[in-house]
Amino acid sequence: MSSTAAKKIFDVALLKRVFQLAAPYKKKVFLSLALAILLALLSPVRPYLIQITVNDYIRNGMLDWVIRITIIQAAFLLVETIFRFLFSFTTAWLGQSVVKDLRITVFNRVIRLNLSQFDRTPIGTLTTRTINDIESINDIFADGLIPIIADLLSIISILAVMFWVDWKLALIALAPFPFLILATYIFKESVNRSFIRVRNAVAALNAFVQEHLTGIQVVQAFAAEEREYKKFKKINAEHRSANVRAIFAYSVFFPVVEIVLAVSTGLLVWWGASKAMQLPESEAAEMAGKMIAFILYLNLLFRPLRVIADKFNVLQMGMVASERVFKVIDNDDYIKNEGSFAPKKVNGKIEFDHVWFAYNEERYVLRDLHFTVQPGETVALVGHTGSGKTSIISLINRLYHIQKGQICIDSVNIEDYSLDSLRAQTGVVLQDVFLFSGSVMDNITLRNPEISREQVIRAAQLIGMHDFIMELPGGYDYKVMERGSTLSLGQRQLLSFIRALLYDPSILILDEATSSVDTESEKLIQHAIETLISGRTAIVIAHRLSTIRKADKIIVLDKGEVREIGNHEELMQKGGYYHSLYESQFMKAIQD
């Protein structure tokens, strides 16, 4: 892992793609580079002015010129401070602007991914890509490449002036630098390995916490708190261990830099003093000014050297993070919206034409499905768990790709429909209803501004939920907690019925599970189902015998294949698979 990550900083194509993200902000990029050059040119000015002051004015007692130079120094300091502020602010602004745009792009891509991606990828990992990894890309601009360029230009500028003033003194002062370069390389590699471990640990922590907070009811119901706590401690310990290693590297490196600086200063003073003792008085006095200036040059030189290795690591981690983020952006496993057919209304005829489907290529869950649902028909899907019922309803509005065959609505392949149009024609009410944090109104309308409050109230009255909603504190403005935890299962399902009715779909897809709701909610749900089904094509995963008997057609599934098709009476007379399923499953449910 570390060897791969170490190469990313030299991946020119990847670096170029990162900087293409800043294309809308070219002016800010050029401004930051111009400021970097100005700061580099200004860096050696003040020490050089001090050298002139000592050699030319203090030695000759020219107090008025000392005052003038001091004022000039203050002016240079003020200008340099302003430029440094502008540089820091511009690079930080640039990074945040890129992050804002990129995060929108990534989120827009994630919400359009094929659902199979979410079946395979932990939500916490995608959260890390959208939040933490993108923040690391911000560091490329704010603390990475552009600041590194500024530091390198500053180092080059200072070194050039040092060698121009006195090349021998410069060589003596820089004699310990090979040790500093070696220490910097070791530090960079050590911190880089630690940072990679930190990033992996952060992703693992996010995935673990996301998963376990979502499934907290299961954790508590099975008294698994202690076991999951121990797992979390282990992942968290890895995160701490990775950070401690990085802290240790910093704790060693910075004292080493200070020691090298002290040795350089000592060598400078020793050699300069020895040389001055052998020179005439006038030349010895000039050496004093040089030595003072060189001590300042060394301090200015070591300031960027202290942090440049750290900035290289920031850049490197940003490149690793950018590669991960670009993998999400480049992921082409999404439902392609290439269709243009967008009728205002469909009749609702559904045809499965020899459809084969697998969540992964190795195992088909639907095999050669072939059936037709006529407009206005209610079709019940029955079969044991794993027979393919949920897969069928997931395919009608293109939540997944199919591998073979085709699905048509009104004799038009669903891939020829625009996704928005197709999904506007199909209303979905599932057993596991997801509600978002927000008001009841927000959850019913999904924040669609085109839906009025009056329309919502009329739909709620048709479903029979209006009175219940009005009893809630705030009525339609009642704040639903995350996942609708403050409402019962039946209440959540009824809200989803209102949502489906409000969008007035031509086709209704319904998972009619009512086993977990109370009698009163069940009556409301049955009324809601009858209201929704009326005048629409409906495909229902049937759990109740009453629904099955009322269905115009029953499709009996077994291991992804259609075993029988017909109404209740026809299938019972056959005495086949449906008859045995009826006896073992539905009659048992009635007796229970």
Q: Among 387, 481, 396, which Cα is nearest to 430's?
A: 396
pLDDT of 490 higher than 60? yes
More confident of the two residues 6 and 316:
316
Biggest CA pair distance of the chain: 124
Residue 412 has pLDDT above 60, yes or no: yes
Mean pLDDT of 312-319: 76
The confidence band for 252, taking pLDDT boundaries of 50, 70 and 90, is: confident
| Residue 483: pLDDT band with limits 50, 70, 90 | low
CATH 1.20.1560.10 residue ranges in the chain?
A: 2-330
Supply the pLDDT for residue 518. Answer: 58
The distance of Cα 73 from the centroid of its chain, to the nearest Å, equals 48
> In whole angstroms, what is the distance from residue 359 CA to residue 403 CA?
10
Taking a C-beta distance cutoff of 8 angstroms, is the pair 341, 412 a contact?
yes
From 126-135, 196-205, 410-419, the region with the lowest mean pLDDT: 126-135
- The answer on pLDDT for 7 being more than 60 is no
Question: Who has greater pLDDT, 486 or 84?
Answer: 84
- For the domain spanning 2-330, the CATH number is 1.20.1560.10
Q: How many CB atoms lie within 10 A of CB 178?
A: 10
Q: What is the pLDDT of residues 117-142, one digit of tens each?
A: 666 666 656 666 677 677 778 878 87
- Tell me which range, 31-40, 176-185, 243-252, is most confidently predicted by mean pLDDT: 31-40
Q: What pLDDT is recorded for position 374?
A: 92
Element (H, E) at 426: strand 426-429
Alpha helices (H) in 278-345, listed in sequence order = 281-330
Which pLDDT tens digit goes with each residue over 350-396? Answer: 999 999 998 877 788 899 999 999 998 989 898 887 888 888 988 88
Lowest mean pLDDT among 172-176, 423-427, 436-440: 436-440
pLDDT at res. 129: 67
Q: Among 31, 152, 150, 153, which Cα is nearest to 93's?
A: 31
- Predicted pLDDT at 391: 87
Whether pLDDT at 519 is above 70? no
Does pLDDT of 2 surpass 60? no
Residue 564 pairs with which residues in a beta bridge?
Answer: 556
Report helix, strand and coil shares of the chain as percent, to nearest 5. 70, 10, 20
In 3D space, the residue among 246, 513, 286 whose CA is nearest the CA of residue 389 turns out to be: 513
Cα–Cα distance, 557 to 540 (Å, whole number)? 13
Average pLDDT of the residues in 205-227: 76
347 has pLDDT over 70: yes
Amino acid at 46: R
- 199 pLDDT more than 90: no
**Mean pLDDT confidence for 346-353:** 91
- Which positions ≥6 away from 567 have C-beta within 8 Å? 551, 552, 553, 554
Banded model confidence at residue 243, pLDDT cuts 50, 70, 90:
confident
pTM of the entire predicted model: 0.67
> What's the gap between Cα 326 and its chain centre?
11
C-alpha dihedral sign at 365, 361, 432, 224:
positive
Tell me the pLDDT band of 592, cut-offs 50, 70 and 90: very low
Second-level CATH architecture of 350-591 = 3-Layer(aba) Sandwich (3.40)
Reported as a single tens digit per residue, the pLDDT across 504-518 is: 888 988 876 554 555
Which band of pLDDT confidence, cut at 50, 70 and 90, is reported for residue 281?
A: low
Model confidence pLDDT, tens digit, residues 526-585:
777 777 777 889 888 877 777 788 888 999 998 889 998 988 888 888 888 888 877 776
Burial class of residue 335 in the structure, from the number of CB atoms within 10 Å of its CB (0-12 exposed, 13-18 middle, 19+ buried): middle
pLDDT at 174 over 80: yes
pLDDT at 6: 45
Q: Where residue 289 falls among pLDDT bands split at 50, 70, 90? A: confident
What mean pLDDT value characterizes the chain?
A: 80
Residue span(s) of the chain under CATH 3.40.50.300 come to 350-591
C-alpha span between 543 and 585 (Å, rounded) = 10
The pLDDT of residue 409 = 92
Closest to 544 (Cα-Cα) out of 433, 427, 431, 393: 431
The per-residue pLDDT for 86 is 93
**Secondary element (H or E) of residue 539:** strand 537-542
DSSP string, 247-269: HHHHHHHHHHHHHHHHHHHHHHH
Work out the angle at residue 92's Cα, subtended by the Cα atoms of residues 90 and 98, and round it to the nearest 5 degrees: 100
